Amino acid sequence: MTYLLLLIFTFLGYIVGRTGHVIGNHLKTRGLHHWVTGLLIAVAGFIFRDQLLRLGVISLGVGLFISDLKDFINLEVWGIDHVEKIKFWGID
């Protein structure tokens, strides 16, 4: 059951990251790429004492991180993603 919850939290983080990617490109807003936010959330998860809560927060951060993996590989920290075709499912 614990693994299912962690998978759900990771998927929720991915969905939040992809939604932010689509909305951010539509609005042309400048800001931190969500791989940075995901990394910060994952690291912040270590402050919790409860193991399930800790792993849930870390999984949420990992999902955000995965949703923006391409920008991490290119070390893009701040700015707008220049995407010609906006797609929800994928890693940008």
Instruction: For 32, list phi and psi in degrees, rounded to 5.
Output: -65, 140
Alpha-carbon distance 36 to 43, whole Å? 11
Of 91 and 33, the structure prediction assigns the larger pLDDT to: 33
Alpha-carbon distance 40 to 23, whole Å? 21
Share of the chain above pLDDT 70, in %: 86
Nearest to 61 by CA among 4, 17, 22: 17
Instruction: Enumerate the H helices of the chain as residue ranges.
Output: 2-27, 34-44, 51-67, 69-73
| pLDDT for 10 | 93
Q: Select the highest-mean-pLDDT range: 25-39, 46-60, 71-85.
A: 46-60
pLDDT digits 0-9 by tens, 23-41:
776 667 677 888 899 999 9
